[in-house]
Amino acid sequence: MVRAGLTTERLVRAGAELADEVGFDQVTVSALARRFDVKVASLYSHLKNSQDLKTGIALLALEELADRAADALAGRAGKDALSAFADVYRDYAREHPGRYEAARFRLDPTAAAASAGGRHAQMTRAILRGYDLTEPDETHAVRLLGSVFHGYVSLETAGGFSHSAPDSQESWNRILDALDALLRNWPTP
Amino acid sequence: MVRAGLTTERLVRAGAELADEVGFDQVTVSALARRFDVKVASLYSHLKNSQDLKTGIALLALEELADRAADALAGRAGKDALSAFADVYRDYAREHPGRYEAARFRLDPTAAAASAGGRHAQMTRAILRGYDLTEPDETHAVRLLGSVFHGYVSLETAGGFSHSAPDSQESWNRILDALDALLRNWPTP
DNA sequence: GTGTTTTCCTAAAGTCTTTAGGCAAGTGCG
DNA sequence: CGCACTTGCCTAAAGACTTTAGGAAAACAC
């Protein structure tokens, strides 16, 4: 019989597509096998288990997101960099909801260390270099930005801001304005 | 044989406890049946299905959270109200991680309408009455606060801020200071 | 006390995960 | 080229969860 040409790489990539189509939590080894028209057990030569597949998708998503962010940041600073960076997250979540969910998947410490998580933190710090913050305020600000971006995107994706005025896009713009103002004027107690 | 005295109410309540112990996504009709020492099929007289159970837990969590927030807000205004409100979310998530996850569960529109979601939005608006914001800025600010609180709590719960200085509690305090300053000084383009 | 309703049960089918062991398709070496 | 070897996909099977159908006994109503 003709072989399907499975590899871990291809499986993870297809898993990511599947996630975008049906949701990350609906990604299943069985569904993936169906997609390749192959028996379920065959996938276990390439994947340790179901968790392994999900971890793979999460790592892929974090990588892609970091790549896009790095691109967006090139040649920008200040508010410009802040907006571009934030938009990368929001756009990615809208284009690839399943992958975005995956990026929020709780990784075990080993996987987390090997992930692009560090790049994300570094880039956030790079943006803050356009503002006059010193430690520990810079770290507080990193955490604030992470919270706002993740929080907004996840509420928006969950449908929180649809069906009500004003438009979500407008809130997003004004929130970025507000964050810029805040960072330029970070309060000292 | 002696009856177990199951009711939807008791099942949902036990489901919430289970969620706090093993995580919301590990809450299963089977596990719940074991907890009541009863056969699985018996639960289906009280629950439409597994989704129904999860929705019930989500509604319970939203209710509890709204009750706590209402208590915390009583007699407070301004920064004081802001901090108290924010702490309710954070503390609840730390005390009841499973329930908090449940509160983030995507409800179908019918359940969402019947949920305490509206109370949460109303209370956020009440806090903002202590600041000088007019529409549509008030709505933008509601969305910002929701994003920060949800985002911070969910990153913190996922372990994002542990094992690194400064202490998460300190970031939380400084972020609340920053939000207070921002709301007192909301930028107009 | 009889009749009705409610509560829990047994049984069964469908899905997903994961492991064990097998045959055949590709690969490498003489 | 032909052979052994490795790898890739298969069949088989067991265990867990979900959900439905239909039955028996407990609780209740009069």
B140 touches chain A (CB under 8 A): yes
Quick check: A116 and A66 in contact, CB under 8 A?
A: yes
Q: Which residues are CB-neighbours of A128 under 8 A, at least 6 positions away?
A: A138, A141, A142, A145, A183
Phi then psi dihedrals of residue A54, to 5 deg: -65, -40
Query: What is the predicted pLDDT for the residue at B101?
Result: 95
Quick check: A171 and A86 in contact, CB under 8 A?
A: no
pLDDT bin (cut points 50, 70, 90) of residue A88 is: very high
> pLDDT tens digit string along B7-48?
999 999 999 999 999 999 999 999 999 999 999 999 999 999
Quick check: A59 and A114 in contact, CB under 8 A?
A: yes
Distance between the alpha carbon (CA) of B42 and the C1' atom of D23, Å: 13
Query: What is the predicted pLDDT for the residue at A1?
Result: 64
Query: What is the predicted pLDDT for the residue at A156?
Result: 94
Quick check: A84 and A71 in contact, CB under 8 A?
A: no
Interface residue of B147, B150, B156, B172 to substitute, partner A, most A CBs within 10 Å: B147
A26: distance to nearest CA of chain B, Å?
Answer: 12
> pLDDT tens digit string along B89-143?
999 999 999 999 999 998 988 999 999 999 999 999 999 999 999 999 999 999 9
Q: What's the CATH class of domain A8-184?
A: mainly alpha
Query: What is the predicted pLDDT for the residue at B67?
Result: 98
Q: How many CB atoms lie within 10 A of CB B105?
A: 18
Chain B window 11-40: which residues touch A at a Cβ cutoff of 8 Å? 25
Q: How many Å apart are CA A20 and CA B19, to the nearest integer?
A: 27
Query: Does the CB of B41 fall within 7 Å of any strand C atom?
Result: yes
> pLDDT tens digit string along A126-143?
999 999 999 999 999 999
A154 touches chain B (CB under 8 A): yes
Q: Where are the alpha helices (DSSP H) in A74-167?
A: 78-95, 97-103, 109-114, 117-128, 137-157
Domain borders along chain B are 8-184
The residue count for chain A? 189
Q: Residue closest to C23, CA→C1'?
A: A1
Helix (H, G, I), strand (E, B) or coil at B130: coil
> pLDDT tens digit string along B159-176?
878 878 899 999 999 999
Provide, rounded to the nearest whole percent, the portion of chain A with pLDDT above 90.
87
Does the pLDDT at position A177 exceed 90?
Answer: yes
